[in-house]
């Protein structure tokens, strides 16, 4: 039992520390919880189309591959890297961010971690949009395809260390 108390104290200490790593994890979890709250509200108010919540969330927060849609929602180049729909997606992204972020923080600063996270997400988003618009194989799905998740940002941190 003493181990679990130490673990819970360590987790509390980590999040109270206010490092960029803790803030990034909390922001990702917060956005995920808010999206789940929208689903719950749709359910509680007996909305006939709960899938509409998913459509709205993806429409306004995920990064579209289509440049015309991107031009009408430019904030998505940032919001997509904090958006997760599936539990397993956010779980594994946040575990990787925590594990590799701790290693990153042993050698570099919180500011550098935050820069790497944001720059990696922006670079990943740019490559995503470019790939869908350059390669003909993606033309049939261009209108309906969106990117979401912290994978590009997390991989930038993994690559940096």
Residue pair 62/139 in contact (Cβ under 8 Å)? The answer is: no
Q: What is the Cα–Cα distance from 61 to 83, expressed in whole angstroms?
A: 7
Task: Please state the domain count of the chain.
Answer: 1
Give the domain extent around 120.
18-32+60-160
| 140, pLDDT greater than 70 | yes
Inform me whether the pLDDT recorded for 98 exceeds 60. Answer: yes
Q: Does 45 fall in a domain? A: no
Question: In this structure, what are the phi and psi dihedrals at residue 64, rounded to the nearest 5 degrees?
Answer: -75, 145
Q: State the pLDDT at residue 4.
A: 58
- Is 6 part of a structural domain of the chain? no
Tokens of 49: 């189309």
The mean pLDDT of 76-97, rounded to a whole number, is: 96
pLDDT category at 18 given cuts 50, 70, 90 is confident
Residue 7: predicted pLDDT? 72
The answer to whether 50 and 39 have CB atoms below 8 angstroms apart is yes
The burial of 72, by beta-carbon neighbours within 10 Å (0-12 exposed, 13-18 middle, 19 or more buried), is given as exposed
Asked whether residue 8 is assigned to any structural domain, the reply reads: no
Helices 20-44, 110-134: crossing angle, 10 deg rounding: 60
H helices of 62-150, in order, are 67-72, 76-79, 87-107, 110-134
CATH of the domain at 66: 1.20.1540.10
What number of residues does the chain have?
A: 161
Q: Is residue 5 part of a domain?
A: no
Residue 66 lies in a domain: yes
Does 7 fall in a domain?
no
Reported confidence tier of residue 42, pLDDT bands at 50, 70, 90: confident
**Model-wide pTM > 0.85:** yes
Which residues touch 102 (CB under 8 Å, ≥6 apart)? 21
| pLDDT value of position 102 | 93
Contact present, 148 and 80 (Cβ < 8 Å): yes
């Amino acid at each position: 039992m003493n181990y679990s108390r130490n673990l819970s104290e360590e987790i509390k200490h980590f999040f109270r520390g206010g490092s960029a790593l803790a803030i990034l994890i909390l922001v990702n979890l917060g956005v995920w919880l808010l999206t789940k709250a929208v689903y719950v509200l749709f359910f509680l108010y007996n909305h006939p189309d709960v899938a509409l919540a998913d459509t709205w969330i993806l429409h306004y927060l995920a990064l579209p591959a289509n440049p015309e849609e991107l031009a009408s929602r430019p904030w998505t180049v940032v919001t997509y890297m904090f958006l997760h729909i599936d539990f397993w997606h956010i779980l594994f992204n946040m575990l990787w961010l925590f594990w590799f972020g701790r290693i990153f923080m042993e050698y570099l600063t919180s500011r550098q971690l935050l820069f790497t996270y944001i720059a990696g997400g922006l670079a990943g988003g740019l490559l995503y949009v470019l790939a869908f618009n350059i390669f003909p194989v993606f033309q049939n799905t261009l209108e309906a395809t969106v990117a979401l998740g912290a994978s590009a940002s997390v991989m930038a941190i993994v690559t940096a260390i």
